[in-house]
Structure 1
Amino acid sequence: MSKDTEIDMEEETWRRLLLQVDLEKQPLTGDGPAPAGEKNGSVKLKVPDVAFTGLSKEELMKVAGTPRRPPHNRVSSAAFACRWVLTHWMLLVLFWLGWVGMLAEAIVIIVQAPRCKPVPEMNWWNNGPLYQVSDLEAFCGGMEGLEAKLEQLAQIKVKGLVLGPFHRVQRDHYYTLDFKIIDPIFGTNDILNAVLKKAEKKDISVVLDLTPNYKGSSPWFSSDNEIVMEKLKVAAQYWMGRGVNGIKVPDMELASGFSGWSSLSAAIHSNGTADDKKKMALMGVVDGLSAVQVSDLVNTTDVDLVLPDLLSTKRDGVERIKAVDALSSQQRSVGWGLGASKLEPLSKVATSPDLRRLYQLLLFTLPGTPVFTYGDEIGLLPTNVSSYMMGLDKVPPKMIWDTEESIADEAADANRTERIDLRSWFKSLSDLRGKERSLLYGDYYPLESSASSLAFLRVWDQSERYITAVNWGKEPSKLKLTLPPTASTEGVVLPKMAKVKLSTDANMTAESSVSLESVSLGPEKAVLLQFPLVV
């Protein structure tokens, strides 16, 4: 007997047994009561036992002669299982092929993408404006009032506070000079300690102005300056040990020729750490030098930041842009200001509200560190403007804190509004410079210059590009922006249009578009334009 026949006989036996069980379970209903011992409504049907005798010979021959066909459900289950396995493998193969394809595409994109330009080394004095306070009494009523004003300086993103000088010295007498002692008329060590601690919390570094003979006829004494340099070196180490982040010295071109200069520089830089916020700065002021001479000082004196007077002495736009161009490659060692080298207010040069905004925009976007004198953020004017402009009034102007001022008349209210608006403009520029890489340390390209106007481009890698255009003249100016030949070799191009980011010209509102073929500026107006990377 074949195996298929045995399977069929087994199925037939089970079929008969199941039929018998089903018959026994069938309920029967009737009119009479249910027999005793039976459940109501049903009786058992007794089916005689039937022994399974198998199939007859004729039945066997009939089955043997018929091709066996497996049950339909067996064929369906097996086919379904085969199809599912096949589908599973196909999906798995497709998944891995897709994954490998995406990985290969990502690798191609990364390989073909332009490399990011490495960020240059930055120090704390490169990250924001420096703010000079030479007269604590005029600024905040004395050293004891300085701590309370640090919050307002932090709001306008001041990164460095240059204080003093306020050390002890008699006019033109170097032997009474002691850099380590604060003159009692300015304050005490305890008050200065409190200022240093709060400044550190506000992320404001403090630099002390250690001009030796600040009460005398000249910053440096006429003789025995080698002794002065030795005292200065000892004092620098002392103050930096107290938490000061650097020192400022005048007439650096003269001081750098003293035999003790290298010793002073070594003492300052040996106090630095790997943390840029704690790195010590040697800041020097120079007057009357050309851009080339300033560049030479940067290269030969180990000075960290030089503050020249180039923007103040050169009023012609062509000369100004040449000076900036000559120092642009050393921008992390150059500070820019108008009057700041002589501790004069910006308002001495910027005699109108529009000019104050113009020069603030210029200083914040030049390649270098912007340096201001206290009150420049509000356009502070001397009490007697005419006398101060003629050099007759040497009394520093008293700082105005609008939160403490009572408005007496309409004119005073208008002045207060102007100060608040100018401070807001200053803050927006300071915020922008701290966020945008092109303005913070981007490359510089001159675009246009004339006697009363100039324009330049700031670019960094794949960041947003910025164009500064200013016209400080009394007449409208039309600037034709042209890149220097070196720009094209470095892949820098100008688009046809740019967006206005900030403007003092009513004809160019923020977010509007401006054609770069010709930029028209009204008298004493400035604009900052923005455009993305042009591929």
Structure 2
Amino acid sequence: MSGTMSKDTEIDMEEVKLNELDPEKQPMTGDGQAAGGEKNGSVKLKVPDDEVTFTGLSKEELMRVAGTPGWVRTRWVLLVLFWLGWVGMLAGAIVIIVQAPRCKPIPEMNWWNEGPLYQISDLEAFSGGMDGLEAKLDSINQLKVKGLVVGPFHTVQADQPNTLNLKEIDPTNGSEKSLMSVLAKAHKKGISVVLDLTPDYKGTSPWFSNNIEDIMEKVTAGAEYWLNLGVDGIKLPDLSLASSASNWPKLQAAVQGNRTEEDTKANVLMGVAAGVSAPEASLLVNTTGVDLLLSDLLSSKNEGVERIRAMDTLQSQQRSVGWGLGASRNDHLSKLANNPGLLRLYQLLLFTIPGTPVFTYGDEIGLQAQEGESPKMVWDIEKEPSKEELNEVAEANRTEQVAVMKWFTSLSDLRGKERSLLHGDYYSLHSSASSLAFLRLWDQSERYITAVNWGSQPETLTPLLSPTTGEKLPETAKVKVSTDENLEVDSSIKLDKITLGPGRAVLLQFPFMG
């Protein structure tokens, strides 16, 4: 029997061996056996049912760890470092604020200091009357002007003071209702309106030839009437004579007496001073109490030395001084500037000079002055002519007028944006018989140098800034605008010598240097 069992055991062991497969031929399953229908090469992994998750320290464990001496010291070190850093940043900020240059306070400005004034002495020639003026306000507004000076157009007969009525508009010029419409529309556009109340504007003497005291009474009454209707100021001729009247203070009170700290807009008392020197003009500003004095210094003084001396004298009173070339007599700029180059030159000069630029209607397009009569204003110059209207000479004139107007508008816009040009300090740099140069700057704003040569020959200007000013010129500056073909816009030029062609001008710019 034992032999039988031994044989059976050997048979069983053989079957086991036969049933075992070669490991290389076993299916790649997780349990070592091929699942039903699965092919060799598939892998089946068994993922434990119980996943291990990290729960962190419990509150009790965290408190035990946080209370150990090592963590206590670490927390204190980090806290001290935080507060030291905070205090350091605060101290640094204070040092920066203390050491930084303080901004210069903006001077008190009135509306007549913020942009050019635009004079319209002949409404019929400008717009066909008062109704036409209202229709042209949109075009005027594009020039960035801040005020219109209109008139005179009151009722009077030449050299007849008994016919003077400053409260009534001559019917040939329009009606009071039309003027009120002009005022309303102009004010909506931010444009102020000043009335010229020259008493005898049709006669030989602006104040007639008799007792100025009686005329001044009528002017004061007329001023009160129009100011109560919304007019923003009055303009008077011959300030030297007007201010000599004993009742001049009464007129002042009528125009300026309603000013309070709450007023957002003041009325302007504007006077003309023709034929006076710069010191005399300065004295008039100081003694008459006038808000704006319009002189003829630029047109009466032809040499650059005289003009720069006048600017030197009046620059400290720039918020009370108006400048024009012919504007004091309602003449057009083209009367002095008889070519397009000079037109641009004098526009650049007026927009960058320390004071208020004053223009006569049409100066923005170079409207040609006519002897003895007002030139008719030209409109729609940007409109292309039809084939029937096409004329080579007329088209060339139109193209030039468009270019001059764009130049004018760009300068007006620049002056309104740049503090150095708007109300900045002034320093003379150079002057000769036919040229001049000056510097305009304000606090930490961009600086500007105006250089002009109205002579018939090229000229080299040598800008020199007095060391007593405390300011310095850089070695180079950038060309902002130019009428000289040799000085391209955005190019850089050296300031030791500025060469300008005949009848050429340039405006240079350089940054605040600290």
Which range, TM-score by smaller chain?
0.7 to 0.9
Indicate the residue corresponding to 2:361 in structure 1: 374
Please give the alpha-carbon distance, in whole angstroms, between the structure 2 residues aligned to 1:275 and 1:515. Answer: 49
Aligned with residue 268 of structure 2, among 276, 281, 284: 281
3-state SS in 2 of match to 1:412 = helix
Please give the alpha-carbon distance, in whole angstroms, between the structure 1 residues aligned to 2:62 and 2:331. Answer: 97
Structure 2 CA distance for partners of 1:396 and 1:80, relative to 1, 3 Å: same
Indicate the residue corresponding to 1:162 in structure 2: 149
Q: TM-score, normalised by structure 2?
A: 0.85
Please give the alpha-carbon distance, in whole angstroms, between the structure 2 residues aligned to 1:265 and 1:79. Answer: 86
Aligned with residue 520 of structure 1, among 496, 499, 505: 499
Aligned with residue 444 of structure 1, among 409, 421, 426: 426
Q: How does 1:384-423 map to 2 (within 5 A)?
A: 388=370, 393-401=371-379, 402=381, 406=385, 407-423=389-405
Letter in 1 for 2:439: L
Q: How does 1:290-369 map to 2 (within 5 A)?
A: 290-369=277-356
Indicate the residue corresponding to 1:199 in structure 2: 186
3-state SS in 2 of match to 1:180 = strand
Please give the alpha-carbon distance, in whole angstroms, between the structure 1 residues aligned to 2:372 and 2:468. Answer: 46
Q: How does 1:81-160 map to 2 (within 5 A)?
A: 82=68, 87-160=74-147
Q: Does 1:496 align with 2:478?
A: no
What's the offset of the Cα at 1:533? Answer: 1.6
Indicate the residue corresponding to 1:453 in structure 2: 435
Structure 2 CA distance for partners of 1:84 and 1:187, relative to 1, 3 Å: farther
Please give the alpha-carbon distance, in whole angstroms, between the structure 2 residues aligned to 1:342 and 1:446. Answer: 27
Aligned with residue 197 of structure 2, among 195, 210, 213: 210
Structure 2 CA distance for partners of 1:198 and 1:525, relative to 1, 3 Å: same
Letter in 2 for 1:263: K
Please give the alpha-carbon distance, in whole angstroms, between the structure 1 residues aligned to 2:281 and 2:318. Answer: 12
3-state SS in 2 of match to 1:187 = coil
Letter in 1 for 2:506: V
3-state SS in 1 of match to 2:109 = coil
Q: Does 1:174 align with 2:161?
A: yes
What's the offset of the Cα at 1:403? Answer: 5.1
Q: Is the 8 A contact 2:110 2:265 kept in 1?
A: no
3-state SS in 2 of match to 1:378 = coil
Please give the alpha-carbon distance, in whole angstroms, between the structure 1 residues aligned to 2:313 and 2:60. Answer: 91
Structure 2 CA distance for partners of 1:277 and 1:195, relative to 1, 3 Å: farther
Number of residues of Structure 1 aligned to a counterpart in Structure 2: 453
What's the offset of the Cα at 1:443? Answer: 0.8
3-state SS in 1 of match to 2:86 = helix
3-state SS in 1 of match to 2:234 = strand
3-state SS in 1 of match to 2:364 = helix
Indicate the residue corresponding to 1:464 in structure 2: 446
What's the offset of the Cα at 1:75? Answer: 8.2
Please give the alpha-carbon distance, in whole angstroms, between the structure 1 residues aligned to 2:493 and 2:84. Answer: 49
Indicate the residue corresponding to 2:31 in structure 1: none
Please give the alpha-carbon distance, in whole angstroms, between the structure 2 residues aligned to 1:276 and 1:503. Answer: 41
Q: Any unmatched runs of 5+ in structure 2? A: 1-58
What's the offset of the Cα at 1:85? Answer: 6.0
What's the offset of the Cα at 1:94? Answer: 2.8
Indicate the residue corresponding to 1:183 in structure 2: 170
Greater shift in the superposed pair: 409-418 or 160-169: 409-418
Residue by residue, what CA displacement relative to the aligned partner does 1:199-226 show, whole Å, maximum 9, x if unpaired?
A: 1111111000000000111111111321
What's the offset of the Cα at 1:96? Answer: 2.6
3-state SS in 2 of match to 1:501 = strand
Please give the alpha-carbon distance, in whole angstroms, between the structure 2 residues aligned to 1:192 and 1:405. Answer: 32
Letter in 2 for 1:205: S
What's the offset of the Cα at 1:450? Answer: 0.5
Q: Is the 8 A contact 1:493 1:534 kept in 2?
A: no
Structure 2 CA distance for partners of 1:340 and 1:521, relative to 1, 3 Å: same
Q: Is the 8 A contact 1:327 1:334 kept in 2?
A: yes
Please give the alpha-carbon distance, in whole angstroms, between the structure 2 residues aligned to 1:303 and 1:297. Answer: 8
* Paired-residue identity, %: 63
What's the offset of the Cα at 1:91? Answer: 3.9
Indicate the residue corresponding to 1:37 in structure 2: none
What's the offset of the Cα at 1:106? Answer: 1.1
Q: Is the 8 A contact 2:167 2:226 kept in 1?
A: yes
Structure 2 CA distance for partners of 1:112 and 1:76, relative to 1, 3 Å: closer
Indicate the residue corresponding to 2:55 in structure 1: none
3-state SS in 1 of match to 2:115 = coil
Please give the alpha-carbon distance, in whole angstroms, between the structure 2 residues aligned to 1:405 and 1:218. Answer: 45
Letter in 2 for 1:515: K
Q: TM-score, normalised by structure 1?
A: 0.81
Structure 2 CA distance for partners of 1:367 and 1:81, relative to 1, 3 Å: same
Letter in 2 for 1:483: L
Q: Any unmatched runs of 5+ in structure 1? A: 1-72, 383-387
Q: Is the 8 A contact 2:348 2:411 kept in 1?
A: yes
Please give the alpha-carbon distance, in whole angstroms, between the structure 1 residues aligned to 2:390 and 2:451. Answer: 38
Structure 2 CA distance for partners of 1:478 and 1:180, relative to 1, 3 Å: same
